[in-house]
Amino acid sequence: MLAKRVIPCLDVDKGRVVKGTSFVDLVDAGDPIELAQRYDQEGADEVVFLDITATSDDREPTIRLASRASEQLRIPYTVGGGMSDLARMRQIVAAGADKVSVCSAALKDPSIIDRAARAFGSQAVIVAIDAKRVGKADKWVCYLAGGRIATDVDAVAWAEEAARRGAGEILLTSMDRDGTKEGFDLALTRAVSRVVPIPVIASGGVGTLEHFAEGILEGEADAVLAASVFHFGTFTIRQVKEYMASQGIPVRLDF
């Protein structure tokens, strides 16, 4: 089994890291580069920067952030938010990002996934899915613009299409669980993981060390992503990885 990744996520708004619950009630969590450097030193496998208002504000993603990260970080990093076309993605990759994450633009025009995969390689293209449960059945729909606009697109079917079009990974966030510290939506994570041949990053809801392991063992994800438990000092990357290793999950500890 390949090593499973632990990925801190930094939601960025106006140059600062913020965190809320179910995508609202945001509080300041610090400087994005300073936090990312700390996670790099602690042994994070990657970091993700998401400009959470770039799409809703209809502006370009933060090129300066991508450039600063390339100068300060040793680990791979992803930039998402505002990736409305190939030109904006190209700017972020040119600034040094290893991967770009696209969400709203791909739902509006799925062919952008094909074009991005051809331009940068599938390994550099992450399709982010912000999903919310509909009713009591195991059905989830996708949301646009940082969780602000509902669609009728089935999240599991959309993940399948994204993979088929050339996405290299799926960043799967449960809007119902985001910031709640109640654990991943394991049914959602498992449903997507079982229908796509590419890695799935579980996101939304981590509150305990057990939740990280559950995302891998029960959710069948390839990586686990969290924000507030890292930003506010609940756990270190090392603590998370040591716990995962104790549960028989292969992780990279040689840092």
**What's the pLDDT score for residue 62?**
77
Residue 206's domain is classified under what CATH number?
A: 3.20.20.70
- For residue 151, tell me if it sits in a domain: yes
pLDDT at 226: 96
Model confidence at 29, pLDDT cuts 50, 70, 90, reads: low
Catalytic annotation, pick one of 13, 40, 51, 130? 130
| Mean pLDDT calculated for residue range 104-125 | 97
> Is 254 among the domain residues?
no
Say how far residue 35 (Cα) sits from the centre of its chain: 16
Q: What value does the mean pLDDT take over residues 40-49?
A: 97
188 has a pLDDT exceeding 80? yes
13's enclosing H/E stretch is strand 5-13
Predicted confidence at residue 61, as pLDDT, reads 53
The fraction of the chain above a pLDDT of 70, given in percent, is: 91
Number of H helices, E strands in the chain: 10, 12
Residue 222 lies inside a defined structural domain of this protein:
yes
| pLDDT at residue 59, rounded to an integer | 46
Flag whether 253 is in a domain: no
- Proportion of the chain above pLDDT 90, given as a percent: 76
| 194 Cβ neighbours under 8 A, 6+ residues apart | 220
Say which range, 50-59, 101-110, 115-124, 199-208, has the weakest mean pLDDT.
50-59
pLDDT, mean of residues 26-55:
84
The verdict on residue 170 lying in a domain is yes
Q: Is residue 147 part of a domain?
A: yes
pTM of the model: 0.91
What per-residue confidence (pLDDT) applies to 179?
Answer: 85
Question: Which structural domain, as residue segments, surrounds residue 122?
Answer: 5-246
Query: Is 11 in the active site?
Result: yes
Q: Which pLDDT tens digit goes with each residue over 51-98?
A: 876 554 544 557 888 999 999 999 999 999 889 899 999 999 999 999
| 251: in domain | no
Nearest CA-CA partner of 174 in 211, 145, 140, 218: 140
Residue 66 within any structural domain of the chain:
yes
Total number of domains in the chain: 1
How much is the average pLDDT of 8-25?
Answer: 71
Count of CB atoms situated within 10 Å of the CB of 146 = 21
Residue 155 CA to residue 133 CA, distance in Å, equals 9
